[in-house]
């Protein structure tokens, strides 16, 4: 990632091993294959907020290593489309929240040029957005057409049982034991989107470490009350 002016760091937790793939098995298998060089093109993945798009893009880059680059456009859009220059030197480019720059002529032209350069060099492109390519809002017809040629996958949201399993998997990856009853308790007493649940689990991890306590319901109840009173 040395080509970028802005330093980017992948989240430590964003690996395939910590992602519950229930309902998204084909997508995860496809991404894992692309990460090791399989296939002749990338893909487009889309879904609502907190369905795991960023996690999966970063997991791909974690596995692909230095031959890949991750670009979160919400963080980089202010830097201008020039940050895309030279990225086709990487074998794999992962662009997060591409819909953030849809409708911006400069960005769309730069993205179209990047697509052409990757095609010429045999590189791959993985894109994440909140909607499918045709609904993304691109003004440049050539870019919309090029993006629509990518295999498209919609990330499925998790039901309550799967959310419990996802929380337990994330906790296990962090070296924590999260009992079923505690995970269920969390779901009933906090925001239910996975982003908020994972953020809460991070806080509980810190508090459990400080207090040298396990993640029991009484301990979690006390922490939630402290957060509410703060």
Question: pLDDT of 115-128, one tens digit each?
Answer: 999 999 999 999 99
Question: pLDDT of 20-75, one tens digit each?
Answer: 999 999 999 999 999 999 877 899 999 999 899 999 999 999 999 999 999 999 99
Considering the domain architecture, whether residues 21 and 116 belong to the same structural domain is answered as yes
Q: How confident is the model at residue 6 (pLDDT cuts 50, 70, 90)?
A: very low
Question: pLDDT of 131-159, one tens digit each?
Answer: 999 999 999 999 999 999 999 999 999 99
Considering the domain architecture, whether residues 149 and 178 belong to the same structural domain is answered as no
Considering the domain architecture, whether residues 121 and 52 belong to the same structural domain is answered as yes
What are the start-end ranges of the H helices in 51-104?
53-64, 73-76
Q: Rg (Cα) of the chain, in Å, rounded?
A: 19
Q: How confident is the model at residue 175 (pLDDT cuts 50, 70, 90)?
A: confident
With CA atoms as reference, report the closest residue to 171 among 3, 13, 8: 13
How many domains, the chain?
Answer: 2
Q: Is the confidence at residue 3, as pLDDT, over 90? A: no
Considering the domain architecture, whether residues 126 and 211 belong to the same structural domain is answered as no
Which H or E run contains 181?
A: helix 180-188
Q: Which two tokens stand for residue 53?
A: 């798009």
With CA atoms as reference, report the closest residue to 220 among 174, 157, 176, 155: 176
With CA atoms as reference, report the closest residue to 96 among 114, 76, 120: 76
Confidence (pTM): 0.89
Evaluate whether residue 187 is within a structural domain: yes
**Domain of 201?**
160-229
* Boundary-marking domain end, from 110, 139, 154: 154
Q: Which residues contact 112 (CB under 8 A, 6 or more apart)?
A: 140, 142, 143, 146
How high is the pLDDT of residue 1?
35
Question: pLDDT of 193-228, one tens digit each?
Answer: 888 888 899 899 999 989 999 999 999 999 988 888
Domain of residue 170, CATH code: 1.10.8.60
Identify the three-state secondary structure at position 115.
helix
């Amino acid at each position: 990632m040395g080509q970028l002016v802005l330093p980017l760091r992948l989240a430590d937790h964003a690996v395939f091993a910590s992602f519950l793939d229930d309902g998204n098995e084909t997508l995860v298998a496809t991404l894992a294959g692309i990460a090791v060089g399989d296939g002749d093109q990338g893909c487009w993945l889309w879904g609502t907020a907190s369905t795991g798009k960023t996690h999966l893009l970063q997991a791909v880059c974690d596995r692909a290593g230095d031959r890949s680059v991750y670009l979160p456009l919400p963080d980089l859009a202010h830097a201008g489309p020039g940050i895309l220059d030279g990225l086709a030197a990487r074998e794999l480019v992962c662009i997060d929240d591409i819909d953030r720059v849809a409708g911006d002529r400069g960005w769309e032209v730069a993205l179209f040029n990047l697509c052409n350069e990757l095609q010429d060099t045999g590189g791959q492109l993985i894109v994440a957005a909140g909607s499918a390519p045709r609904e993304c809002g691109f003004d440049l017809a050539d870019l919309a057409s090029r993006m629509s040629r990518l295999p498209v996958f919609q990330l499925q949201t998790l039901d309550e049982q799967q959310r419990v399993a996802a929380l337990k998997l994330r906790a296990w990856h962090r070296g924590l034991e999260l009992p079923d009853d505690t995970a269920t308790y969390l779901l009933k007493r906090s925001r239910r989107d996975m982003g908020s649940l994972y953020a809460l689990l991070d806080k509980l991890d810190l508090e459990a470490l400080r207090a040298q306590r396990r993640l029991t319901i009484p301990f979690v109840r006390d922490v939630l009350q402290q957060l509410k009173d703060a």
